[in-house]
Structure 1
Amino acid sequence: MNSYDYVVVGAGSAGCVLAARLTEDPDVRVALIEAGGPDTAQEIHIPAAFPQLFKTEFDWDLDSGPEPGIGDRRTYLPRGKVLGGSSSINAMIYMRGNRADYDGWAAAGATGWSYPEVLPYFRRSEDNERGEDAFHSVGGPLTVSDSRSQHPLATAFVQAAEQAGYKRNEDFNGETQFGVGRFQLTQRGGMRCSTAVAYLHPVLERPNLTVLGAARAHRVVIEGGRATGVEVNRGGTVEVVRADREVILSAGTYESPKLLMLSGIGPAATLSAFGIDVLRDLPVGHGLQDHYMALLNFRTGVESLMSAASPENAQLLESAGRGPLTCNIGEAGGFFGSRDGLDAPDVQFHMAPVLFHEEGLGPVTEHGFAFGPCVLAPTSRGQVTLRSPRPDAAPRIVHNYLTTAEDRDCIVGGMRIALRIAAQDALTEVITGPFDVPDTHSDAELLAFAQRVGQTLYHPTSTCAIGAVVDPELRVLDVAGLRVVDASVFPTVPRGNTNAPVIMAAEKAADLIRGAA
């Protein structure tokens, strides 16, 4: 039985940050538990190759239950099962969300999480190639760069959006979020810069850090109201990894609540139904939020990423760190209001210079591109619960996408923006025909299309939210020595891609744990 000061479950976007920051003190011993293996596969590091990781050993390969708001379809939910977690399989978009998100959290009781209070942690993590200003910083572990791809189809999309009357935005993480443009990316020299690359690999030789790979956490061991360790399975052997100070769950929005429930922390009725002793009756797993996205796919005569994997492009990537293989798929996009008068956007667009259909699993056999809206500030709420008391069983997940009138109106409004952009000269000049677009443009048809083709944008949050399951210092309510640090603690899903906010939260949590915040 090994004992450490801190035991961190999950070597993902948050866990790698925590491991690096907590071991800065040489007197602190940290164990980092990861169910997956090393991030050595070539497809992890070549940006354009990340869809090849779907449904592989690097993917938890989860599915939702029947989703009532989209015709009872089950949706595919990829999550990273590898060092770096989902930051090793995501689209690398560096997006912080909107000032209103964090100020809203603070106003609702999440003390210490207002925008002015979280901005220093965004900046601390960042090494932005554009340099330092009021919003950005240099010298942090996480490299943030402009796209090395500059794909002409992405350029056409941005031009078309400008022709439709939307302003160009050079920095979605700056003064305003509204507008269109290219995204900044977590890339270094044209290659993926995951939290494993940025935070974990540089500190692996620290003698006070132990990484336990291929180790599946079963439950948190709680004795006398205090978390004292984590039960894990390594190679068929079940053992307890002891924590003298704290256990920190960074297993993600789906797995962290599952581990809490298996440990006796969760809704009493749910736990009792599975024969689990109730230690704390908390709304674990409730409040699930995600960004639901619907993409239009068009055929084109312009060369897309379908032909990116050529020897010439591989050489260009290796020698110069640029070219089509550096494309993150979602290269461009924008933030819009689905209706007038909004202070913050409620729709985000992503544009891919390649066909992206059937939840990213559809075959790409011809040149094309895709773009479309997501519901950025959803009012729908879902739930993560147990499927079985067995720790190797996937959780039961239902997001309730588009089950509120507000969310349905939002996706229809976003679809109308997409059609307006598609009708502009910059895109009509490159579109050769529809691949998968709405047949007609009535509200009913646009909604039916979104319900048929929509998918997760891979941004689940809020199943262990501040104020409901954890306090503003991310400590599980009424359980000593136990914190949750990942997207599950967010009171609401931020307006944007969630990787940067998770990294920020882990940077802040490190200070909270060390008493430096």
Structure 2
Amino acid sequence: MTFTWIRSFCAATVLLCLSTLIISSSAVIYDQYSDLPLGKEYNFVIAGGGTAGLALASRLSENSAFNVLVLEAATSSIGVFNITVPYFSTRNMLQYDWNLTTTVQSGLGDRWLFFPRRFILGGSSSINGMFYTRSSVDDFNRFAGVTGDDGWSWDNIQQYLALNERLVSPAGNPNTAGEFDPDVHYIGGAVDVSLPSFSQNIDSKVLDAAHKLGGVYSYNEDVNSGMPLGLGRRSSSVTAYLSDESRDNLDVLVNARVARVVPTKNRNTTAGYSFRTVDFTQNITDGTFIQVTASKEVIICGGAVGSPQILLNSGIGNSTALSAAGITPLIDLPSVGQNLSDQPFIANAFLANTSNTYDDINRNDTVLKEALTEWLGEDRLPGVFRGAGPLGDTFANQISYYRVSEELTGHYGDFSAGVTSPHLEIYPGNGYFLTPPTTGYYLSMTTVVVSPASRGSITVNDSNPFTPPLIDPGYLTVDFDVAAMKEAFKILYTFLNASVWDDYILEPPVGLPSIPDFFTMNSTQLDAQLESYVCNSTSSLAHPVGTVAMSAKNASYGVLDPDLKVKGVDGLRVVDASAFPFVTCSHTQVPVYVFVERAAEIIKASWQ
């Protein structure tokens, strides 16, 4: 069996978003609206205290002349121990999730999926997998091209990466020579970023396989250079951007669920409607709403689900669909809620001939206690540094990116941003992803389509602003995505067929052939088996974007101008992953921070 790839590089070391200190919040966090300072006027009201919202609030409040209020639906994350432990990102903490589901997905055999969106201060940055990946040169250059604003280009966003990243040493200061390129990183930003601190059992095998296979599997020293082909405590937007310097001009109100934005009375504007007032509640059962008005802007930071939901409930969207849902249309913007893009993934668990995995941490309380003692460090285990052991890292120490074959792109088209952008991501995990079975030890090889062609939507079907929206990601509804995921398995099996894995893998995941059978099966039979497995096993990587996408200033489509203002209205912006016109080829946390850093600069400049 022979495959041809345009370009790909494998087995780069993962960088993690972390924080080496517990940082107290600079904001005052309030539980009740009545506790807010009496008579205080807010210049900016931010709807959503997640990854984007808190970072933006921090940057805006650097100007002492600005008073900023953040409205967050969930409770505070301050002092929640489980979310500070990096490895616990492998656990389903449903008490901190919106517990949303998708509509039935025709591309997934008419299955519906759990759709992770985090319900806690800091949002997904408080619970995600912590991967620090910037995406590619072409991703940001495509943003610039689509919007007509060169400020979104790769070269021009470097200043915002510098504001975001603070590269620090891993816990224990291990030798990291050759594992990253220091010349492409920054040391003065807000978010602590580090290489993994704990070597996993499979690390040497992964790197040995890459070196032995060479070619498309060759080692890429740093996937964050813009060419991605080829501890400590978690760092969230809470720990990174709410510093220990007290600011009395930044308030955060938790348990405050935003329903809509409403036109501000007596506001003269040439744009038509001015939206500077927010309706929210602290009790969704009693039907009472509180209004707060920003003197300058309301900024929605609700994410790819929450932001379009707020806009639609405000009468901003497709007028016909809004009327059908019982909502009075105010601004006809048909693109609101459309263009939903998410990265489909499969966590493929191979039964392994070892007991040196992380599986017992997630199913054996004694093993977990030992790992926690090691991670807590010197006060619990003399002579052992804080952040030591397996709990100091996330579930993968390496990450690899690939472009698919020219045959595939020639047949279906190329849906990546360009030649520097991969279509696929594969990363190994030393154990079963999430909760393992009661017996057995596993090697997880996660496959992801990072540049998918499929698109979906976020819609509402009634006038209750707190009814969960209809989430239809449209997974695998474009043939390219199915073909790309199948090609990921051809890449994966070739990698696992390297001699370093001999006698290590005992059984494949249910539904996949053994490694020897993969290379001897009839091609038609193999293709059918892979297609069935992909259809029945694909889930969400939880990287949804695009539902309030920006476009060029005078474009007839899109929701936001390149400065992230909502088209055709005054006083309203959206700053979060919903603004991305396309999903980046990376995990989305770092691109969100880049958007925030540039948005903060744009907003500050507009109100000087």
Determine helix, strand or coil for the equivalent of 2:480: helix
Letter in 1 for 2:107: G
Residue 222 of structure 1 corresponds to 263
Instruction: State whether residues 251 and 486 of structure 1, in contact with CA within 8 Å, keep that contact through their aligned partners in structure 2.
Output: yes
Letter in 1 for 2:584: P
| Higher mean C-alpha displacement, 507-516 vs 248-257 | 507-516
Residue 100 of structure 2 corresponds to 62
Q: 1:469-480 alignment to 2 at 5 Å?
A: 469-480=559-570
| Higher mean C-alpha displacement, 92-101 vs 133-142 | 133-142
Residue 358 of structure 2 corresponds to 305
Equivalent of 2:303 in 232, 236, 252: 252
Q: 1:283-432 alignment to 2 at 5 Å?
A: 283-300=335-352, 301-308=354-361, 309-319=367-377, 320=385, 321-340=387-406, 342-356=419-433, 360=434, 363=437, 365-432=439-506
Residue-by-residue CA offset, 1:346-376 (whole Å, 9 max, x unaligned): 11112221212xxx46646432121132111
Q: 1:28-427 alignment to 2 at 5 Å?
A: 28-39=66-77, 40-56=79-95, 58-111=96-149, 112-129=151-168, 134-165=183-214, 166-174=217-225, 176-179=227-230, 189-202=231-244, 205-223=246-264, 225-235=273-283, 237-282=288-333, 283-300=335-352, 301-308=354-361, 309-319=367-377, 320=385, 321-340=387-406, 342-356=419-433, 360=434, 363=437, 365-427=439-501
Q: Matches of 1:466 and 1:364 in 2, distance apart? A: 47
Instruction: State whether residues 428 and 445 of structure 2, in contact with CA within 8 Å, keep that contact through their aligned partners in structure 1.
Output: yes
Q: Matches of 1:177 and 1:55 in 2, distance apart? A: 32
Determine helix, strand or coil for the equivalent of 1:230: strand
| Higher mean C-alpha displacement, 229-238 vs 60-69 | 229-238
Compared CA separation, residues 154 and 215, structure 1 to 2 (3 A): farther
Equivalent of 1:454 in 524, 530, 538: 538
Instruction: State whether residues 296 and 437 of structure 1, in contact with CA within 8 Å, keep that contact through their aligned partners in structure 2.
Output: no
Structure 2 unaligned residues grouped into runs of 5+: 1-38, 170-179, 265-271, 362-366, 378-384, 410-418, 519-525, 552-557
Determine helix, strand or coil for the equivalent of 1:505: helix
Residue-by-residue CA offset, 1:313-370 (whole Å, 9 max, x unaligned): 21221112121112311332200112149553111112221212xxx46646432121
Instruction: State whether residues 372 and 414 of structure 1, in contact with CA within 8 Å, keep that contact through their aligned partners in structure 2.
Output: no
Residue-by-residue CA offset, 1:113-142 (whole Å, 9 max, x unaligned): 111111211121110126995531112110
Residue-by-residue CA offset, 1:7-33 (whole Å, 9 max, x unaligned): 011111111111111111111100011
Q: Matches of 1:457 and 1:26 in 2, distance apart? A: 39
Instruction: State whether residues 54 and 61 of structure 1, in contact with CA within 8 Å, keep that contact through their aligned partners in structure 2.
Output: no
TM-score normalised by structure 2 residue count: 0.79
In the TM superposition, residue 434 of structure 1 has moved relative to its aligned partner by 2.7
Determine helix, strand or coil for the equivalent of 1:278: coil
Q: Matches of 2:66 and 2:599 in 1, distance apart? A: 16
Q: 1:12-23 alignment to 2 at 5 Å?
A: 12-23=50-61
Residue-by-residue CA offset, 1:86-114 (whole Å, 9 max, x unaligned): 00110000001111111112122241211
Residue 529 of structure 2 corresponds to 445
Q: Matches of 1:511 and 1:437 in 2, distance apart? A: 50
Residue-by-residue CA offset, 1:230-288 (whole Å, 9 max, x unaligned): 11111455201211110111110011000000000011122111111111111101001
Q: Matches of 2:436 and 2:72 in 1, distance apart? A: 30
Residue-by-residue CA offset, 1:37-76 (whole Å, 9 max, x unaligned): 11122110101112334322x1111111111111111111
Letter in 1 for 2:250: L
Instruction: Give percent identity, aligned residues only.
Output: 32
Larger radius of gyration: 2
Compared CA separation, residues 153 and 132, structure 1 to 2 (3 A): closer
In the TM superposition, residue 2 of structure 1 has moved relative to its aligned partner by 5.9
Residue-by-residue CA offset, 1:129-170 (whole Å, 9 max, x unaligned): 269955311121100000112211244234334433311122
| Higher mean C-alpha displacement, 132-141 vs 447-456 | 132-141
Determine helix, strand or coil for the equivalent of 1:243: strand
Q: Matches of 1:295 and 1:162 in 2, distance apart? A: 24
Q: Matches of 1:362 and 1:286 in 2, distance apart? A: 36
TM-score normalised by structure 1 residue count: 0.93
Letter in 1 for 2:101: D
Compared CA separation, residues 495 and 175, structure 1 to 2 (3 A): closer
Letter in 1 for 2:505: I
Q: Matches of 1:330 and 1:455 in 2, distance apart? A: 18
Compared CA separation, residues 261 and 361, structure 1 to 2 (3 A): farther
Compared CA separation, residues 445 and 278, structure 1 to 2 (3 A): same
Letter in 1 for 2:195: D
Compared CA separation, residues 208 and 364, structure 1 to 2 (3 A): farther
CA RMSD of aligned residues (A): 2.1
Letter in 2 for 1:22: L
Q: 1:495-506 alignment to 2 at 5 Å?
A: 495-506=585-596
Instruction: State whether residues 43 and 52 of structure 1, in contact with CA within 8 Å, keep that contact through their aligned partners in structure 2.
Output: no
In the TM superposition, residue 3 of structure 1 has moved relative to its aligned partner by 3.6
